[in-house]
Structure 1
Amino acid sequence: MSGINDIEGFHRKILNSIWIGVWAVDRNENITFFNKGMEYIFRTSGDRVLGTNVLQYIKEQSMRDQKHFCELFCRVKRTLKPAPYDSLSMITRNGSLTYQSGVLVPLIDDMGNYDGMVGTVEDITERKLIEKQTLDYLKTEKELENIYKSSPVIAFLWLAGDNRPVEYVSDNIHQFGYIPEDFTSGKMDYSDMIYPDDLGPLMFHIRKHEAEGNDYFSQQYRILTKKGNVRWVSERSLIVRDENDVPAYHQGIVVDITVQKRSHEALLEAEKKYRLIFENSPLGIFDFDKEGIVRHCNDSLIKILGLPKEEIIGFNLMTSLRDEKMKAAFESVLSKNSGYYEGEYRSTTVDKTTPIRACYSPNISEAGSIVGGIGIIEDITERKKAEEALKEYTQELARANEELKSLDRMKDEFLSNVSHELNTPIVSIKGYSTLVCDGTLGDINDKQKDALMVVLRNTQRLIHVVNSLLYISMIQTGSLECRFEDVSISDIIDNVTDDMMPLIRQKGLSLQKDIPADLPSVRGDREKLALLFTDLLDNAIKFNDPDGQIILEAEEERQEGKEEQGTIHIRITDTGIGIPEELIPKIFQRFYQVDSSAKRKYGGTGLGLYVSKSIVDEHKGRIWIESEKDAGTTVHVMLPEA
C-alpha cells in the first residue's frame, strides 16, 4: 500500500507543480481535485473549493459563458467523449476579465459507466489581449489607409530647383491621372504638370519666399491632368534648408480646389451681374442695417427722391420717417415680414410730389436674427396716369353702354310696336283672301284661285315671322306672359299641320303622323306651344329635299316602377340636309344659321330654334337635336304632363 500511496503522491506532486490548471470531480459533480494552477488562475485556495459542486462553482465565478460551459460539461458526461473549449470569458474575484481554454475528459469505470470528470484550464487572457490589440491596430491602420487614400490631399517632397524634381509623391496623385513612378522615376518633373502660364509666377513666388528667409509659402495655380484637363490646386509647403541655410527641398501638400475656384468665380460673376442690376435698375434700391440706417443706394433712388446721395446715406428710417403709413411698412421688417407702401412722396428740395410704391424686405442671418433689410422704391407716375386714363375710358364706355342699352330698348320697343302694327293688317289680308279663295265673295277661276293660294301661303309665313318677332320682343322687354292651362298636344299639332299643309304640298313632301289622340294633357300656353311646333315644322319643311318625308311622333314616357310625373315625348323627323355634329351645340343661339348661305338658299331669320328653346324652357321641358349631315334631322321635345 505504501508503494501505491507513493506513486499517487508523486502524481499529485507533478500535477500541483505545473501551471496549467487541473481539476477533477466525482460522479456527483463534486470537486475532488484542485491543483495549484487552478488556485492561481481562480485566485482562491483549493481547500475552499474541494467538495463544491462544479456547476454551482462556475455560476459563482460570474463566467460570462457559463451556459456554454454547462452545456459542454453535460454533453461530455452524456457522450463520454472528451471535448475542448476555447476563449471562455470569466470575471475574477477582483473584477478582472479573463479568458480560459481547456479540455473536459470523462472518467469511466470498469463497467464503462461515467465515474467523474477531469478538466484542464489555461489562462489565455494575455494572448487574447495581444490578439485584440493586434486586430485593433490592423483595423486602425486600415482605416487610416482608407482615409489617406480617399483624402484629396497629395503629399509631395520636391528638390529645390527650377523644375522642382520630385523625390516623393503620395499614391492619390492618381486623381490627376498620374502614378507616383511618373515623377519619382525621373520621367517627369513637377514643372511638367504645371499650366504653362502659371509656371513663371509660381517660381517667382517661391524664390521670393526663399530669398526673404520664410519657412513656409502657399500659392494657388493651375495644373494639367494626364488627359490635358485644367485643374486648380492650392499648395502649402515647408522650405527646408541645408547646413549652409540654402534651400534644399520643399515638403508640402497639394489640394484640388477646382470646385471651390469655379464656385468663387461664379460668385464673382453673380456679384458683378447683381451689381449691374443694382446700378442700372430703373427702380430705386437701397439697403439698411438693423438700426434702420441706410448704407447704400443706387442712382435711380437719388433721381426718384430728388436728394443728394450724402443725405440718403446715413438716413435713419426708424427715427426720421414722418409718413406714418410708410413707417409702418418699414417696421414690418423688424418683425421679419415684408412691408408695402403706396402713396405720394413730397421732395424736401424741390416743389415736387411723386407717386411712389415702396417695398421693404428683411435680411435675416443664418441664426434667424435681423441684420438689416432691402428697400425698393418705384416711381409710379406713369402708372397713375395710365390708371386715370383707364378710369376715364371706363367711364366713357359706361356712358356709351348706357346709350347702347337705351338704343337697344328703343329697338325692342320699336320691334314690338312694328310687330303689333304688322299683325293687324296681316290678319285682315289672310281673312279676306280666304273668303275670296273659298268663293264666299263670289266665283273665281282657277288662275285666280292659284294666285290667292300663293298669297295665303306667304301670308301664313309672314304671320309666323311676325309672331316670332313679337315673342322675342316680349322676352327682351320683360313683358312675356304665359297663360297656362291644360291643353292637348295632339290638338295643337293637328291645328299646326293643317295650317302648314299648303307649304308641305307645294314642296311635294309627304307627312306621316303617329300621335295618339288619348295622350295626357300638358300644362301649357296654347299660343306659345302652337308657335313652338310651327317653328319646328317650318324648319322640317324648309330644310327638306323635294319629295322628302316628315314624320311627327308623340308618346307618353314614365320611369318604370315610379309614380313620378310623366312626360310627353314629341319627335319631328325630316329627311333633309342635316346638320354637322360639331355645329349642333350652337343652333339654339339667336340669329344663328349653320351656313351663311342658308339665308339666300332657304330664307329665314335664324330665330326659329332660339324661340323654340325659349318656349320649351318656359314650360320646364327639354329640347335637343339629333342630326347627321345629308341624312336628316330629328328634333326631340319633352314636356311634363299636367
Structure 2
Amino acid sequence: MKSVLEDIVNASPVIVFVWKEEDRWPVEFVSKNISLFGYTPNDFISGTLRYSDIIHPDDLEMVTEEVEKHLESGDEKFNLTYRVLTGKKDVRWVEERTMIHHNPDNTYYEGIIMDITSRKMEEKKIIDGALEMKKALETVINASPVIVFLWRAEDDWPVEFVSENITQFGYEVEEFTSDKLVYGDIVHSDDIEKVRQGMARCVAEGNREFTKEYRILTKDGNVRWVDERTKIQQNDTGDVTYLQGIIVDITDRKNVENALYLEEKRHEALLKLYAMSDSSIQEIMDYAREQAVSLTESKIGFLAFLDETETNYAVISWSNGKQSSDKAPAESYSIWDEALYHRTPIMNNEYLTEKDTDPKLIQRNLSVPIFEGGRIAGIVGVANKGQDYTSTDVRQLKLLMQGMWNIIQQKLADEELYQYMEDLKKSSEIKSVLSDVIKNSPAVVFIWWAEEDWPVEFVSENVTQFGYTVDDFLSGKLVYADIVHPYDLKRVQNELAKRIDAGQTDFNQEYRIMTKFGDVRWIDERTFIKYDENGTVTYLQGIIVDITERKHSDDFMHLQYDLDSVLSSATSNGEIFNRLLDLALKITPLDSGALYLVDDKTGDLNLVAHHGLSEQFVNSTSHYERNSVHTRLVMSGQAVYKHHSELSAITTGKNLRYEGLHGTAIIPIRYHNEIIAALYLSSHSEYEIPDKSRHDLETIAKQIGKVLSNMHKEASAQKEISDLQILIDNVKEGITVTDKKGALLYTNKILEKWIRYSADELKKMDITDIYPLRYRHVLDSVNKPINQNRPYSEDIRLYSSTGREIPCRVTFKNIKWNEKDCILGIYEHINTSATSIHDT
C-alpha cells in the first residue's frame, strides 16, 4: 500500500515535503516528483540544498516572517504563495499548504507545494488587461467633452478626482485635488444657491441621481453653461459619502435656445402690435419700448420719433413712464444721439464718464436708428444690460422697430382715409374728391357691393398700377374676385364671411392678386363693413396697398439670417454646400437645382450639392469640362435665364425632358472678379423666373461667393501653417521660445528628441529645468544684452530626462510671439565624440 501511495504522489503535480524547524529549513523528506523543478530528492536529503535555497531571494524574507508569525500564534496549519527557482534557475510560482507538528524533541513541518505558475500568468494577463482598459477609458474620457468628477459629500463639494480634460475650462487637475479649489468656487454666483438647494433636496428625498443645468466660470472669467449628471453614493448606514458625476459644456446649445427664444418673443411682440389697431400711437410706442427692453435683457428703454428735419423729437416713450408729445431738441437726449449723428447703430459697452449723463446710472447702452427710406424717423435706445450688448441685440431691435413703424404708418394711413370716406360718403362729389386725394397714392380705394364675387361700385384711378382701368370694373367686365389669386380666393371669402358673422366693422388681411399682365402682387387690404339699420351688410369699403416689396424684403432678411445660421452651425464643407443651395432655393418659384465649384487647376465645373433632381439627371450633369458650352456660359460672367429645354439643347446636347424642368437660371458666383462657382436652378411649375426673383438670386450669389472664398482662404492658411511646422520640425537645430520669466512656450521636435521630454511635459516646465546648475549663470546674463536688442551666445550643456548632458552652442535673441515679448533660443549641437546625439 505504501508503494502504491508513493507511486500516486510521484505521478501527481503535488510535491510532498517534511522540513525541520531549523535554520534555512533542512529537508527530511521530499517526494521524487521534485524532479518537476529539476532537482533530485538526494539534493535535499544529503544537505547539499536546504529548502530556503530554492525560494526566490525577493520572497524569502516574506516567507520567513509568515512562518514565524504562524509559529508564534500557535497555528497548526497555514498556506503561502511565493516563487521558487528551478534547477535551471527558472522562476515558478508555488502554493504551499503546511501543517506544524510539535514533538518534545523538535518541531517540524509537513507540507505540499503545487506549481501554480500558469494560474499566476492568467491572473497577470487579467490584471494587465484591466489596467490597459482603465488607461484606454481615461484616454477616451480625456479626449471627450465629458468631464468626470468625484466629489466628497461636504460643503461646496471638495474634489477627490477630476479628469484631465478639465483643462478645457482653463483649470489644472492639481488645483482641485490639492484642495486649492473646491467645486463650488467655480459655480456662477447667481446659480450656486440653486445648485446647493437642488442637491440637498435630492439627498433628503433619498434619490440616487441628481441632474441640473447651470453656469460655471472658466479660469479666465468666461461664463459657460454645463449639464451635470451625478450618482449619489451612500455607505451601509445610508450616509452620503461621495458624489460621482459628469459635466458637459452645453453653452452652444444654450446660445441656440436663447436665440430661438428671442425670435419667438419678437414674433409674439409683433403679433401683439398688429393686434393693437384700436390703440393710440403712444400706447403702441410704449409697448414696443417695453419689448425692446425685454428682448435685450436691459433695464432702461427710450423710444422717440423725429420730425421731418431730424432735429426734434416729436413723440417720446421712457422706461420710467415719462412721455411727451411736445417737441424737444434732439440734442437734449445726448446719450442716444450718437446713432442719430452717425446714422448707424451704436453700442457702448464701456460707458465714458464724460458723457452728458450720470455714469453711475448708465453702465452700457445701445441705440439704433429707425429708417423710413433714407430719413431717420426715430431712435430706439436700451441701457444697462447685465452683460455686453452684441450684434444679436442690434438685429432684434431693428426687426422689432421696423415692424412697429410699418404698423404705425398703416394706422395713420387707415385713419386718414377712413376719416375722408366717412366725411364724404354721402356727398355727390365722393368720386372726384377721393380721386383727387389718392390718385397719386399707392393705396387703391374700392367700394364693393355685398354680393357674390364683389362687383365694384367704385375704384380709384390709380388701379392702373396693376394694369387695369376703372372701366374694366365699373362696366361689369371684371368683378373683384376675378383678380384675386386662385390659390387665395377661398381663404379671402372665408375670412370676410367670418368677420360678418362676428358682426365686426373692419379688418385686415394679406393675399395675392393677379395684374393684367399676369404678374403676382401681394396686397394688404383694409376693409370696412357697412350695415343698414337692420344689421344687413349693404356694401364694403376698402383700400388695398401693394406690399410685394415688403414681402420680398422680409423674405430676404430671413434668407440673410439663414446664411448666418449656415456658417455658425454647419460641421463640414458638404453640409455648408447643401445649405447654401437650400438658401438659394428659398427664392420663389425655384424648387430644384445644383451648386458647382470651379476646379482651381483644370477649370472644370464639378457638382458639390444638388436638390430636387433625379439620380439619372445628377449623373448626367455632375461634371463639365473646361471647354464645354456649359462651362463657357458660366465663365462669361453673365447670369442666364432661359427655359430648361433651350439651355439643355445648347449646353449638353442631351434630351433631359424627363426631368420636367421649366424656368431655369445659370448664375456665376464670383469673388473679386474671379468666377469660383455657379448655381444651376430650376422650377418645375413656372416657365419663367420673375425679375424680382432674379435680383434676389444674384444678391444671394454674391453672399455665397464671399462664403466660398473665405472657406478657400481658411483651407490655404491652414496648409501654410502645416507646411511651416513641418519645416521647423525638420531643421537640425533645437529651438525654444520662453517668456521673460523663463517659462517654456514652444519647443521643436529635434530639441524634444535630444532631451527626451514630450511637448506637453515641456510646456509645464521652466527653461532652468533643462540646465545643469553650473550653467544657470547663462540665464542670469541673458537679459542684459537681449534687452539691448543684441543676440547673446554661449556654449552650454542641456539636461535630458535621463540625466544625460548634451553639449550645445546657444544663441538667444528677442522676438514677438503671439504679440508678447519673448526670447528665442537656437541650440546647435556640438559633437564632442563620435557618438551622434540621435544615437542617444
- TM-score normalised by the chain length of structure 1: 0.30
Return the structure number with greater helix share: 1
Larger RCO (CA within 8 A; separation ≥ 6): 1
- TM-score normalised by the chain length of structure 2: 0.25
Pair member with larger Rg = 1
